[in-house]
Amino acid sequence: MSVWEEIKSKLSVEEVISDYVPIQSSGGHFRCICPFHTEKSPSLIISPDKQIWHCFGCGAGGNIFSFVAQYENIEMRDALKKLAAKAGVELQKFPQRTLTEEEKKKDKEEKTKYEQGLDVLAWVSEVYHKILLNILKDQQNPITQYCLKRKLTPEIISLFHIGYAPKGGFLLKIANKYGISKELMHEVGVLKTKENSINNSTEFSDKFSDRLMIPIQNKEGKVVGFTGRVLPYDTSERPKYLNSPQTEWFNKGELWFGWPLAKRNAISQKKVIIVEGNMDVISAFSHGFNYTIASQGTSFTHQQITLLKQLRAEIWLAYDNDNAGQIAGNKFFLATAAAGLEIKKVLIPETMKDLDDYLNSAENIDLEVLPYPEFLLKKHYSQLTSSDSDEQKKAVEIVLQALSVVDDLTMEQYVSKLNDITDIRSETLYKLIKTEQENTQYSQFTNQGGDSAFEPDKKPVTPTQQALVLWQKMASLQTFLGNMDEWEPHLTLAFALVKHFIKELQPFELYTDYVQAEKDLLNVIFTDELTEKSPVIMKRLWTQMMFWIDHHIEKILLDEELKDIYLALKQER
């Protein structure tokens, strides 16, 4: 058994795809909204028997490897590695394409460097953690006192692998002792440098000193960076929090703090709480809310929202109560609601600074949430009913901006409520929403990395994709209906033409090669539509295909061989 088959035998196609998008049963198949083009009704079919998937809308399809590669925008071998890990298959078994000597050298250097960096980060995390565990043996130590005050129990400290970075350049000293590369430690962000102008040399020192250290993991659970927090006895003007710099390992725009720990809980609970800071996540876990995550601050990116989609869960937003938190919360709602996610707001009393304060104010708190538009109506009610027209206008604009990204039913519900509250006519409100939708500039929500959280993750179907779908439907009808043999000569001629324009067909020499190679896929298409009307369907599809071929007539006539095939095809039909 090949390694490909071994992985497929351990992972079902519906299991893999359901990790990324919600699927629903449909007879002997499954259906889902296609993540590769814009659509409202599910047109992607998953066939458990054949272990393949196919979209009738854009023509995309394949197996578990091609789905993961396309969804995550990664190379096929990276998809293989990812699914191998999920299936428990050793990576060494994977066949790799033959590389040139230069590619081998570069691949080895880059791979080794990145993996060594991960090893260094894991080692640093372990060092800091062991130091804190040793400190906690002393109940009178101010660091221990702080942990007790923040309810950082030994279980929570172990769960998040929290540590402590000592003063006096401890990390650099121990790194020198074990012969760990200072240059690599600087690259991964745990050492800093300065130039000594006297002897023209580079001096290294610890980046983190006298701070509580919180390791940050990527979605695979590997330590990629740290957040260091000053302790209460520190009266200096140092920043309260110090984060790892942006590196090849630590990319804030790709991370949710707490993701590896919270993901499964969020999926099972069907909800995920979003907070601002790492300490807020830790506090939420300590109070039993083990489905809480945080972005690195209040900025967020398209990549982070794509990860949230994988949870198929309600989003409970619990940003801080200050003005910055409210502004960030509105932006977050606009981005995530536009992406099709369901957002609710956690109601934190206005007397509390954030969720951490609220959870620590009482025992066994049950969080209360409202749909985000409902929350906005409640929060701005006094302004919406104000006799001051300017105040009312500002509040109406905030609510309408939120309604510009919701579905039609939700929009209608809240336009009705807003009409009742303000007495502004519904027609006027709808007109303002339409203007908001037309004028929204997505760039205003772009974070520092330049990656807009509003960037659409789905593309419209192109004419070539439509032609591929037509071709697949015709091939499926001709191949699997005995009374359709009359079409094969025409499809054979058409194949010679369309493969010049549709890249998915180009690897095949002949029409028969294509049918043989794609028989599993073709068997899925039209499964529920093979009736006495099939000849009529074929004729309609053929008309559409010929229209598409005629659209490329100028390019076809420039190639003498294609021209002859085209004329022969026109004569036959």
**What pLDDT, on the 0 to 100 scale, is given for residue 522?**
79
Q: Is the pLDDT of residue 384 over 90?
A: yes
Residue 480: the pLDDT is: 66
If one compares 534 and 321, the residue with the highest pLDDT of the two is 321
Count how many Cα atoms sit within 13 Å of the Cα of residue 37 in the half-sphere of its side chain. 19
Q: Give the architecture (CATH level 2) of 3-93.
A: Alpha-Beta Complex (3.90)
pLDDT of the residue at 365:
86
Q: What is the pLDDT of residues 141-193, one digit of tens each?
A: 999 999 998 889 999 999 999 999 999 899 999 999 989 999 999 999 999 99
d(CA 303, CA 339): 12
Strand, helix or coil for residue 316:
strand
Q: Is 349 exposed, middle or buried (0-12, 13-18, 19+ CB in 10 A)?
A: exposed
The 3-class secondary structure across 138-200, one letter per residue, is CCCCHHHHHHHHCCCCHHHHHHHCCEEECCCCHHHHHHHHHCCCHHHHHHCCCEEEEEECCCC
CA distance 332 to 328: 6
Q: Among 51, 47, 52, 20, which Cα is nearest to 31's?
A: 47
User: What pLDDT does residue 313 have?
Assistant: 87
Instruction: List, for residues 462-482, the tens digit of each pLDDT value.
Output: 788 888 888 988 888 887 665
| pLDDT for residue 31 | 87
What's the CATH superfamily of 104-250? Answer: DNA primase, catalytic core, N-terminal domain (3.90.980.10)
Residue 172, pLDDT score:
94
In order of 129, 215, 243, 286, 352, the CA distances from 132 in angstroms are 5, 13, 19, 18, 30
Could you tell me the sign of the dihedral formed by the alpha carbons of 192, 196, 200, 204, in that order? negative
Query: Does pLDDT of 229 surpass 90?
Result: yes
In the block, residue with structure tokens 């420039």: 558
Share of the chain above pLDDT 90, in %: 37
CB 42 within 8 A of CB 470: no
Query: Which CATH class name applies to 252-457?
Result: alpha beta
Between 77 and 373, name the one with better pLDDT.
373
Q: What tokens does 509 get?
A: 């020499």
371-390: average pLDDT:
93
Q: What are the tens digits of pLDDT across the range 213-223?
A: 999 999 888 99
Q: What is the overall mean pLDDT for the chain?
A: 85
DSSP string, 15-34: HHHHTTS--EEETTEEEE--
Say what the pLDDT of residue 532 is: 61
In this structure, which amino acid lies at residue 246?
Q
Output phi, psi for 36, to 5 deg: -105, 0
CA angle, 127 then 133 then 136, to 5°: 140
Give pLDDT, residue 175.
92
Residue 101 has pLDDT above 80, yes or no: no
Within the chain, what is the greatest distance between any pair of CA atoms? 95
* Cβ contact 403:415 at 8 Å: yes
- Of 172, 279, 294, 175, the closest CA to residue 231 belongs to 279
Q: Name every residue whose Cβ is closer than 8 Å to that of residue 395 and which is 6 or more positions away in sequence.
A: 380, 383, 384, 386
Domain chopping of the chain, boundaries: 3-93, 104-250, 252-457, 463-572
Residues with Cβ within 8 Å of 236's Cβ and at least 6 positions away in sequence, in order, are: 230
pLDDT at 452: 44
Any bridge partners for residue 243, and if so which? 227
> How would residue 262 be classed by pLDDT, with cut points 50, 70 and 90?
very high
- pLDDT tens digits, 417-465: 999 999 999 999 999 988 888 766 443 343 434 444 444 345 567 788 8
The helix (run of H) or strand (run of E) holding residue 407 is none
pLDDT band at 99; cut points 50, 70, 90: low
In this prediction, residue 441 carries a pLDDT of 46
Q: What is the pLDDT of residue 402?
A: 92
pLDDT, residue 446, reads 36
Instruction: State both tokens at 218.
Output: 């990527």
Q: What is the DSSP letter of 366?
A: P
pLDDT higher for 380 or 537? 380
- Tell me what pLDDT residue 310 has: 76
Section 114-131 average pLDDT: 94
pLDDT exceeds cutoff 60 at 108: no
Q: Look up tokens 């580079």; give the residue.
A: 202
Return the exposure string of 2-29: e unless at least 16 CB atoms fall within 10 Å of the residue's CB, then b.
Answer: ebbebbbeebebbebbbebbebeeeeeb
User: What tokens were used for 394?
Assistant: 């500002």
User: 515 in helix, strand or coil?
Assistant: helix
The Cα–Cα gap between 114 and 123 comes to: 14
User: Tokens in use for 190?
Assistant: 């745990």
CA gap 56, 402 in Å, rounded: 33
Count of CB atoms situated within 10 Å of the CB of 462 = 12
224-228, 432-436, 555-559 — which is least confidently predicted?
Answer: 555-559
DSSP string for 478-508: HHH-GGGGGGHHHHHHHHHHHTTT-GGGTT-
Give me the pLDDT at residue 447, please.
41
- Percentage of the chain beyond pLDDT 70 is 89
Give the pLDDT score at 36.
82
What is the average per-residue pLDDT within 42-67?
86
